[in-house]
Structure 1
Amino acid sequence: MPPTHEVFNQPEPLENHDVAADPALLSGLEREEAGWAAAEVHELGRLAGTARAQAWGEQANANEPVLRTHDRYGHRVDEVDFHPAWHVLMDTAVTHGLHAAPWADDRAGAHVARAAKFYTWSQVENGHGCPISMTYASVPALRHSPDLAARLEPLLSARTYDFGLRPPESKSGLLAGMSMTEKQGGSDVRANTTRAVPAESGGYRLTGHKWFTSAPMGDLFLTLAQSPDGLSCFLVPRVLEDGTRNALAIQRIKDKLGNRSNASAEVEYDGAWAWPVGEPGRGVRTIIEMVNGTRLDCVIGSAAGMRAGLVQAVHHACRRRAFGSALIDQPLMRNVLADLTLESEAATALMMRLAGAADRAVRGDEGEAAFRRIAVAVGKFWVTKRLAAHSAEALECLGGNGYVEESGMPRLFRESPLNSIWEGSGNVAALDVLRALGRHPEGAEAFVGELRRAEGVDPRFDDALKGLLDLLHDTEEIEFRARRLVESMALLLQASLLIRHSPGPVADAFTASRLGGDWGRVFGTLPRGTDTAAIIDRGSPKPA
């Protein structure tokens, strides 16, 4: 290089750090009865912080899955080829039990431990989390058909990544997907037109077109179709027991904004054989068990995205100088980074509380089940929406360096809208909260009870809680106002958790800005007196 080309004032890549060295994550792990999993979470965190793990994420996205409809001889095969890096990511996730493994673990906190690992490993690469999440969420839906669950659940929960199209019960591990959405209905699944007619061996034959089938190279797919009894739930295998391919054709792979490593497909059922799942005509009731699980993972994945962007921004600001000093020492940048840290910590605290509720609900705690019914939808609405603004601001902290692909920030930004759309857009989530409030008064009582646990500490919180109670009792034009109501519920729930479980500077700054009105409309508008040093330290990456 010429002598003028001296590279300086360019931060080195963020490598060899422990992604799990996250105070909000680790305190939540202990609080939600999963402290026993800390060693494995740190093991995964150290791997996630390596240069080779980051390279796997980059390679899986740069080399997107490719659909092969036919083999060289003209036979229809409908296979999707993935880059080897995808398989490494998947194998790591399955081996560490990020899929359905908690359903085979009777320990208290098993689902919390799984959430912490999902959060940690998702910071490497988001796309492969889709089949992992759907496999996790498939089990409670399958349990509506105990005989089917007894056969398949041990394979779904096995910690073996066994890729390839073979009869399900001949494999050492299975992955499940979801194939619900149709082009004329979207979230309105009752508008589905796929037909199911009774067939041999107690099964059904499905005919119709599915607009979005996630992870089409999975082994099994939960789907909805119109049976003689009404909209019903079915499980469709990719390969039949005799080794032949089921009658479903992959028409094309979707060309998506982000999530490029993961294949999403349009699929045509042409008399595809399927097992019935749950009570005939009650398909939505059955599949909602799966939706609840994947919605929780939307919250976890969005919290992971915030943390991933935050640590990159702090790392850069500590090592980049501008206008005579390090970025981290400049007051306005400290305001921005502290604000990003607050948003990230609030999301992490919330997702750990939701995971704890899910874990205790599985073990029969009716109060936690009632709380989860509303709180997961509240978290899904709010945290997933906050990720897009958060990732944009984190990218901006790196300036032009953040706008180039090598930084990883553009990929994070492209991923950011996904979770707010997946499993129901913001409107669907907000309206689901309204329905749950109306149909399940015990859930509303449990939710408000959770908020009241932080009463009497901060007057700003107490005032905001009174305002929320007024909103809950005002039913006039409530659908029109649903987003305002659910936003208030989410912020109060996050504030309640931070007041009780986070250091004083974090809780005070969050309450002052999000509830006390001392906040602008962009990140970096925290009030004077905010202890930015104490807050930013919680968002700083820690060496492995």
Structure 2
Amino acid sequence: MPGFVTHTIEDAVMSGSPESTMPDTEGINAFEIDTDLQTTLSSALSPELYSIAAPHLRELGRLVGTELDTLSRTADANPPRLRTFDSRGRLVNAIDYHPAYTRMEHLGVEQFGLVAMSHKPVLGFDAPVPHVLKYAFWYLFVQAEFALACPMSMTDAAIRVLKRYGDTALSERFVEPMLRTEPGHFSGAQFMTEKQGGSDVGANVVEARQDGGEWRLWGDKWFCSNVSADLALVLARPHGAAPGTSGLAMFLMPRLLPDGSMNSFRINRLKDKLGTRAMASGEVQFAGALCYPVGELGTGFKQMMSMVNASRLSNAMRSAALMRRSYIEALTSAQGRPAFGQMLVDKPLMRAALFGMLVESEAAAATLFHTAVSYDRADAAVASLSPEERHASVPDEPHSRYVRLLTPLLKGVICKRGRHVVSEGMEARGGNGYIDDWVDGKLLRDAQLGSIWEGTTNIVALDVQRAMLRNGSDVPFFAEIRGKLTPYAVDTTVGRIAEYLLAAATEAEQECDQLSLLGSEHRELGAVRLMHRLYDLLASSLLLEQAMTEARDANSFRKLAVLLGYLDEHFLRQENTAGSAEHVMLTHAAEQVLSAGHVPLSAVEPMLLRTIARAGSRHPMHRARERQGGAATAARISASGDIK
């Protein structure tokens, strides 16, 4: 892997320094070592756009392994503090942040323009960047700093909501300060959760009342992330409105009034959190706070959900970034740590553990950047719709319906699996991983948030079903899956795998078609399992596409090994049986697979043949062809040595 130094056991012994056997990732450039990300971007972007982006990505990658990582750990160890009143007893709701947090804000918001980059030109680009590039910058940034990404993401989402739903005057007044990339920029937040409501937003009771032609907020919000925000989008019930979500409206509440005085709300206290300690979350009490309605009253929940969905993709991105950072930490440790006469990376069980982390990490990255591309397609499609159609919570066009499904799908699965991957990374480092002198504990604490914030796993799984039942999102989803798999079904090497996945997609599609016929309790019980099944189909399809592209362009089969590992784990593994994927860890190419090096077909061939055989045995339609197909594939590989 570029940027890595693989130490031998002799190096470790001869160095005479015990410290040299405890390596970490300090000084590593997170972009230069990520050939997977580089390949994704070079494929998705024009050469001109990539050439502009690359130096900035490289500089951010350098900071991830140096200053930004140090700042992040410092800010995490020095959480913000609340000053409710000033020295004269006036309400100020002031949050005092450590200078390390302020410096990170400068880097993220001002130097790299992470909030503004999908809305206006920054960093020398002549237009807003596509989402795939935006999320590439964020993906790198979060590998060092997770907490600050929350307020930056909410600010980005608030801009989208105001542009889409706010009237012209409201947008002109409040969007520009959030788009600034110089000191004085505004940050945004969403205040939605209440004590009695939680995920049941329809139970919310915070009330909005008209007073002399102005709207005022009354009541309490229980969990307000980025509580120091300059602008907050608040979900409230206008006085006399209907109960449930249909009676909720969205309001924009500024922290300060036009004369510079504090708006009429109080931050009661800050939350003492397990993770994301550098970012202030608190409890807020409204006492007639001035606010402005956003869009039509009664549509607030739908509008807020559009912001939540954007934030959910950010959640998935952050968990994918944590997976990547944790994997790189574990690999670096294993490459430099001697044990029992060998380096840890040479031990089969350690290799298998690392390979499991790698498979989940690269699957998450593949689905993340695919969804980012899909976001741009949806935005382009929505731009051609009428104003009335554009203001729908989910415009009735296939790209928007597809993204409507992908955002909760990725949020639910990546955030859940990210917790396991990060935990495995801590274990791979051993006792040091449990000590906060090392980064693993911070990664583990932060990883827990993804499966809770913006909806728990159960809530998000139900939203996946809702996307299909209400928006018909399963139709473009399965069309996309078939579109990716069908061209490879006739391939003489991976055709059996593509056919297996197509058959699995057909089964899943039939299950989705039956959802409306099930009682709500039976439907809910299967929601989490179905969510994971759909994600696995998408991830496998994307990994297959990547594997074939790599084989064609570089005559390397590393990504094919990753695909086969993913199939082994999520489709074909049998209890108490070693999977075919683990056998590649016994080959001379094992570390090349782990380190993104060049992998010959010979190293993957036994794994491929076994996967084909096992895939065939799982589907009756394949059994008659299994022996013939496997033998033909083996003969063709031996004869040609590459994939056609």
1:512 maps to what in 2? 568
Distance in 2, matches of 1:177 and 1:146, equals 19
Q: How does 1:101-500 map to 2 (within 5 A)?
A: 101-105=117-121, 107=127, 109-143=129-163, 144-147=165-168, 148-162=170-184, 173-200=185-212, 203-228=214-239, 229=241, 230-364=247-381, 366-441=397-472, 443-452=473-482, 453-455=484-486, 456=489, 457=495, 458=497, 459-475=499-515, 476=518, 477-500=522-545
Distance in 2, matches of 1:70 and 1:462, equals 62
1:532 maps to what in 2? 590
The 3 A distance-change label for structure 1 pair 99 and 380 is same
Distance in 1, matches of 2:179 and 2:128, equals 17
Runs of 4 or more above 4 Å deviation: 105-109, 518-522
Are the counterparts in 2 of residues 102 and 157 from structure 1 also a CA contact under 8 Å? Answer: no
| 1:42-61 Cα shifts (integer Å, max 9, x gaps) | 221111111x3221011101
Distance in 2, matches of 1:125 and 1:14, equals 15
| 1:6-26 Cα shifts (integer Å, max 9, x gaps) | 635522332222112312322
Are the counterparts in 2 of residues 161 and 174 from structure 1 also a CA contact under 8 Å? Answer: no
1:501 aligns with 2:546: yes
Are the counterparts in 1 of residues 561 and 581 from structure 2 also a CA contact under 8 Å? Answer: no
Fraction of identical pairs, as percent: 34
Are the counterparts in 2 of residues 100 and 139 from structure 1 also a CA contact under 8 Å? Answer: no
- How far off its partner does 1:471 sit? 2.3
Distance in 1, matches of 2:20 and 2:135, equals 38
- How far off its partner does 1:305 sit? 0.3
Name the SS for the 1:372 alignment partner: helix
Are the counterparts in 2 of residues 32 and 353 from structure 1 also a CA contact under 8 Å? Answer: no
Which has the larger helix fraction? Answer: 2
- How far off its partner does 1:161 sit? 4.1
Higher-RCO chain (CA-CA 8 Å, sequence separation at least 6): 1
Distance in 2, matches of 1:100 and 1:233, equals 23
- Aligned with 2:101 (options 74, 86, 89): 86
Name the SS for the 1:235 alignment partner: strand
Are the counterparts in 2 of residues 32 and 352 from structure 1 also a CA contact under 8 Å? Answer: no
Distance in 2, matches of 1:221 and 1:299, equals 23
Distance in 2, matches of 1:262 and 1:399, equals 29
The 3 A distance-change label for structure 1 pair 534 and 464 is farther
The 3 A distance-change label for structure 1 pair 525 and 309 is farther
- How far off its partner does 1:256 sit? 0.9
Distance in 2, matches of 1:272 and 1:131, equals 21
Distance in 1, matches of 2:575 and 2:37, equals 26
2:86 maps to what in 1? 71
1:166 maps to what in 2? none
Count of aligned pairs between the two proteins:
522
| 1:270-328 Cα shifts (integer Å, max 9, x gaps) | 00000110111111111122111100100100000000100000000000000100001
2:74 maps to what in 1? 59
- How far off its partner does 1:533 sit? 3.0
Are the counterparts in 2 of residues 90 and 161 from structure 1 also a CA contact under 8 Å? Answer: no
- How far off its partner does 1:392 sit? 0.6
- How far off its partner does 1:133 sit? 0.6
TM-score, with structure 2 as normaliser: 0.78
- How far off its partner does 1:363 sit? 2.1
Distance in 1, matches of 2:513 and 2:573, equals 23
The 3 A distance-change label for structure 1 pair 245 and 354 is same
1:15 aligns with 2:31: no
Runs of 5+ in structure 2 lacking a partner?
Answer: 1-15, 242-246, 383-396, 490-494, 548-558, 599-644
- How far off its partner does 1:100 sit? 3.5
Q: How does 1:36-47 map to 2 (within 5 A)?
A: 36-47=52-63
Are the counterparts in 2 of residues 505 and 534 from structure 1 also a CA contact under 8 Å? Answer: no
Q: Which letter does structure 2 place at the counterpart of 1:178? A: Q
The 3 A distance-change label for structure 1 pair 31 and 521 is farther
Distance in 2, matches of 1:437 and 1:350, equals 19
- How far off its partner does 1:107 sit? 4.3
- The more displaced of 225-234 and 291-300 is 225-234
The 3 A distance-change label for structure 1 pair 519 and 305 is farther
Name the SS for the 2:293 alignment partner: strand
Are the counterparts in 2 of residues 212 and 264 from structure 1 also a CA contact under 8 Å? Answer: yes
Are the counterparts in 1 of residues 334 and 345 from structure 2 also a CA contact under 8 Å? Answer: yes
Distance in 2, matches of 1:417 and 1:120, equals 19
Distance in 1, matches of 2:419 and 2:450, equals 10
Distance in 1, matches of 2:324 and 2:584, equals 24
Structure with higher Rg: it is 2
Q: Which letter does structure 2 place at the counterpart of 1:445? A: V
- How far off its partner does 1:534 sit? 3.7
- What do you get for the CA RMSD once the two structures are aligned? 2.2
| 1:220-247 Cα shifts (integer Å, max 9, x gaps) | 0001111144310000000010111000
Runs of 5+ in structure 1 lacking a partner?
Answer: 163-172
Distance in 2, matches of 1:40 and 1:208, equals 45
Distance in 1, matches of 2:137 and 2:563, equals 25
Distance in 2, matches of 1:241 and 1:521, equals 67
The 3 A distance-change label for structure 1 pair 525 and 62 is farther
Q: Which letter does structure 1 place at the counterpart of 2:286? A: Y
1:169 maps to what in 2? none
- The more displaced of 98-107 and 150-159 is 98-107
- How far off its partner does 1:512 sit? 2.7
